[in-house]
């Protein structure tokens, strides 16, 4: 018996399959991040405070590495919205993580320009070097490898973003050396975005 003609009780149709994030440990910003958030939220009129959800979540991820249920509740309290509102944002954007990731997250662009210039071979070479598949984190927790869509530097394809830094013209044959260089020198090993480099050099 059901009051809805297409949704009989007992079938499970009415149950959401959505997986909620782990609650994790209690979360609060460090004093420095709280000060950053307070400065950010002043940029928005009070009636548009929700527009600060994205930067508020970036601060969480920079502080904790990923975003837990408790962190979403904390952000909701800072913004003045519901935890569900915050979770909607977290689950929409692929660059927010709800599970721990490696120290270095390697995002390999797989969209057209990069695909034509060997992105697939680049991913395969990184998989071979790291001993993982795209979507996984290595056993040491140092590297997470992901495939993503256009990173906005199509004229320097193939492009890999490592955390927040660009590495342009990334040839598959250089993949192993890139991983070694990241281990040795961190993100200083990356080419960076050519526009930032040219601006820095006054070109
Ligand atoms: S297609 Fe790879 S950066 Fe645009």
- pLDDT tens digit sequence for 88-135: 999 999 889 999 999 999 999 999 999 999 999 999 999 999 999 999
CATH class, domain 31-92, is mainly alpha
143: CB partners within 8 A, 6+ apart = 102, 103, 104, 105, 106, 130, 132, 137, 179, 182
Cα-flanking dihedrals φ and ψ of residue 108, to 5°?
A: -95, 120
Average confidence score pLDDT of the chain: 89
pLDDT tens track for 66-87: 999 999 999 999 999 999 999 9
Strand, helix or coil for residue 169: coil
- Round to whole Å and give the CA distance between 175 and 173: 6
CA of 152 to the centre of ligand 1 (A): 5
Range(s) for CATH 1.10.10.1590 in the chain? 31-92
Q: How confident is the model at residue 7 (pLDDT cuts 50, 70, 90)?
A: low
Pocket of ligand 1 (CB under 6 A): 109, 111-114, 150-154, 157, 159
Range(s) for CATH 3.40.30.10 in the chain? 104-200
Q: Is 53 exposed, middle or buried (0-12, 13-18, 19+ CB in 10 A)?
A: buried
The minimum-distance atom of ligand 1 relative to the CA of 151 is 3
Under CATH, what is the fold of the domain 104-200? Answer: Glutaredoxin (3.40.30)
Q: How confident is the model at residue 21 (pLDDT cuts 50, 70, 90)?
A: confident
Cα-flanking dihedrals φ and ψ of residue 106, to 5°?
A: -95, 115
State yes or no: pLDDT of 8 exceeds 80.
no
State yes or no: pLDDT of 161 exceeds 60.
yes
Q: Answer left, alpha or beta for residue 113, where phi above 0 means left and psi between -120 and 50 means alpha.
A: alpha
State yes or no: pLDDT of 197 exceeds 80.
no
């Amino acid at each position: 018996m059901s009051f809805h003609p297409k949704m009989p009780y007992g079938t499970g149709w009415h149950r959401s399959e959505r997986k909620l994030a782990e609650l994790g440990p209690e979360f609060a910003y460090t004093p420095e991040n709280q000060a950053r958030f307070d400065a950010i939220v002043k940029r928005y009129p009070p009636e548009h405070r929700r527009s600060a959800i994205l930067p508020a979540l970036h601060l969480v991820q920079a502080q904790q590495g990923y975003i837990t249920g408790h962190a979403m509740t904390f952000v909701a309290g800072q913004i003045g919205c519901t935890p569900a509102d915050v979770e909607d944002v977290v689950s929409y954007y692929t660059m927010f993580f709800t599970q721990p990731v490696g120290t270095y997250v390697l995002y390999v662009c797989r969209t057209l320009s990069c695909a034509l210039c060997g992105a697939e071979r680049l991913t395969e070479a990184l998989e071979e070097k790291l001993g993982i598949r795209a979507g996984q984190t290595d056993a040491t927790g140092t590297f997470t490898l992901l495939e993503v869509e256009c990173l906005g530097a199509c004229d320097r394809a193939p492009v890999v973003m490592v955390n927040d830094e660009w590495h342009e013209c990334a040839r598959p044959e250089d993949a192993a050396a890139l991983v070694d260089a990241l281990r040795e020198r961190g993100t200083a090993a990356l080419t960076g975005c050519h526009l930032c480099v040219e601006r820095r050099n006054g070109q």
